[in-house]
Structure 1
Amino acid sequence: MTSRSLLDDLLADLTAEGDALRAVVTGLEPDDWATATPAPGWSVAHQVAHLAWTDEQAVLAARTTDPERWPTGKADWDAVVTAALADVDGFVDAGAEELAALPVEELVSRWDAGRTALGEALRAVPDGAKMPWFGPPMSPASMATARYMETWAHALDVYDAVANPAAEGGRPLPTDRIRHVAHLGVRTRDFAYSVHQQEPPAEPFRIELTAPSGETWTWGPEDAEQRVSGSAYDFCCLVTQRVHRDDTDLVAVGDDAEHWLTIAQAFAGPAGGGRDKR
């Protein structure tokens, strides 16, 4: 698969996940947007606002890669970095707060525009170029994967807030699109250790997950001593910190593998607080 076809597939899955969330929030009453979600201090509006804000920042980052197409791209991104450095711990939440305060129609319009602009900007990044970000530079495919992961994870918070999962509705049935989240969760193993100021194990782990379709997804050497197996959905919820470790069916073989499952995170930034045990 070429890098362009990979990006097209990723963007198609990102669009599908965003469309699923949009279909749910479009049906909400205005007051429902203030409903608290499982993320402390964040309402439904905050969740959508965070997605919209981050998409907009990703567009600005992509536009640094082609000065002829986007002559102000670098200056626009430098302004973002300056603002981030002025409030390292709070600038992401501040972005969500700002957009969440908009009228619902305007927030949804901003989100729609950002989703469209992101796809166009990522497709326009020159071959081989990487985008600056708040961590290491990213390829368009890596950015699309990260945006998929966040869209999927924040959508879960919205679904949990506005519908009873035990009743009709609630969380949609998972699809094999979540492979993007699982892949990112595996690749960020060492990052999870670093944010906890711990040394990652030298040896790779074997990961064997059962996809929603029943397919088996694997990573790592077959003979690895440290192993993780179980539901891909549970693994994705865990690495996005949408479920407590004890509420998953994941089986760890080896102390290192078990410890990793208690600190895993596929998202950038400081260590998250995770979720309480049910």
Structure 2
Amino acid sequence: MSDPTAVLDDLRDESDELDRLVADRAPGTWAAPTPAEGWSVAHQVAHLAWTDRAALVAVTDPDGFAAEIAKALAAPDSFVDDGAAEGAALPPADLLAYWREGRERLLTALHEAPRGVRFPWYGPPMSAASMATARLMETWAHGQDVADALDVERRPTATRLAQIARIGVRTRDFAYGVHGLTPPAEPFRVELTGPGGERWTYGPEDAAQRIAGPALDFCLLVTQRAHRADLSLRATGADADHWLDIAQAFAGPPGRGRAPRGAAGAGPADGGGRR
């Protein structure tokens, strides 16, 4: 049974880093557009607050979470945007307080969750450790949207990137599935270099299909925060090359991701820019 303590510490650190990035900004900055079309800095924070609250319901009231699923099914094309828009309408100080309170309650609930129990979600049920990893991945990804909007370069952190890279590898077959494709039968080899020169490897050493490159670039790819043309990832084999075009670590339908830098109309459309 996986102990979620380490990833919960990473989730707290990632959330606190984003908090520091936005906390002292002038109110007008919260209206700044991010690379996700139609979403401001406030929308990004509001989405994290909204999802934290949904996760809290899943952990503390699994039966009640059925109502959240019903809302999603009733408005599949708008429920994510609607949740973000509602929070973004709050004054920045109120939104910040709401996000802080919700994420703290979720951290406490995940710490106290019984080991071995799986909680409902919009995708497959998840353990406390898996849910914490998913929240870390999403906080990091939406934090990247905010950083890009504010023209801030974040310093990658090895422990947090390692968690996101791991979920990126584990969601390989999911990415094929949401595109209506059959995943390749053979496992891939993924070899990544962490920000401090760490070497992270996944899959059999003798696999014919291979991905290699910086861990940061891989995390940007699987969260669809950068186009593969702007990243230093190398694919060996046709299947591995195809995966880099469809990789997606977040739940939901296929994202369109960001266009290459310098392309006409560059910037993400829906899906990959928001999820």
Bucket of the pairwise TM-score, normalised by the shorter protein: over 0.9
In structure 2, what is the equivalent of residue 155 of structure 1?
143
> C-alpha offsets along residues 37-84 of structure 1, whole Å, 9 cap, x if unaligned?
0011100000000000000000000013xxxxxxxx523x22212212
> C-alpha offsets along residues 142-200 of structure 1, whole Å, 9 cap, x if unaligned?
0000000000010011011112xxxxxx1221110211110011000001111111111
In structure 1, what is the equivalent of residue 55 of structure 2?
58
Which amino acid in 2 is paired with 1:186?
Answer: V
- Select which of 148, 168, 174 maps to 2:156: 174
Cα contact 1:131–1:140 (8 A) shared by 2: yes
Runs of at least 5 residues in structure 1 that lack an aligned partner in the other structure: 65-72, 164-169
**Counterpart mapping for 1:34-49 below 5 A:** 34-49=31-46
- Select which of 25, 29, 35 maps to 2:26: 29
Give the 4+ runs in structure 1 shifted more than 6 A.
none
In structure 1, what is the equivalent of residue 208 of structure 2?
225
Cα contact 1:56–1:114 (8 A) shared by 2: yes
Runs of at least 5 residues in structure 2 that lack an aligned partner in the other structure: 262-275
- Confirm or deny that 1:83 pairs with 2:71: yes
Per chain length, whose mean CA-contact separation is higher, i.e. which structure has more relative contact order (CA < 8 Å, sep 6+)? 2
- Select which of 109, 134, 148 maps to 2:122: 134
Aligned pair count? 260
User: How many angstroms does 1:132 deviate by?
Assistant: 0.3
**Counterpart mapping for 1:1-278 below 5 A:** 3-4=2-3, 7-64=4-61, 74-75=63-64, 77-163=65-151, 170-176=152-158, 177-278=160-261
Which amino acid in 2 is paired with 1:74?
Answer: D
In 1, Cα distance between equivalents of 2:122 and 2:48: 16
Query: What is the TM-score normalised by the length of structure 1?
Result: 0.91
User: How many angstroms does 1:230 deviate by?
Assistant: 0.5
Q: Secondary structure at the match of 2:58?
A: helix
Which amino acid in 2 is paired with 1:234?
Answer: D
> C-alpha offsets along residues 242-278 of structure 1, whole Å, 9 cap, x if unaligned?
1111111111000000000010010000111111111
Same amino acid, percent of matched pairs:
57
Aligned-CA RMSD value: 1.0
Query: What is the TM-score normalised by the length of structure 2?
Result: 0.92
In 1, Cα distance between equivalents of 2:111 and 2:16: 19
In 2, Cα distance between equivalents of 1:81 and 1:195: 18
User: How many angstroms does 1:105 deviate by?
Assistant: 1.1
Cα contact 1:61–1:133 (8 A) shared by 2: yes
Cα contact 2:52–2:106 (8 A) shared by 1: yes
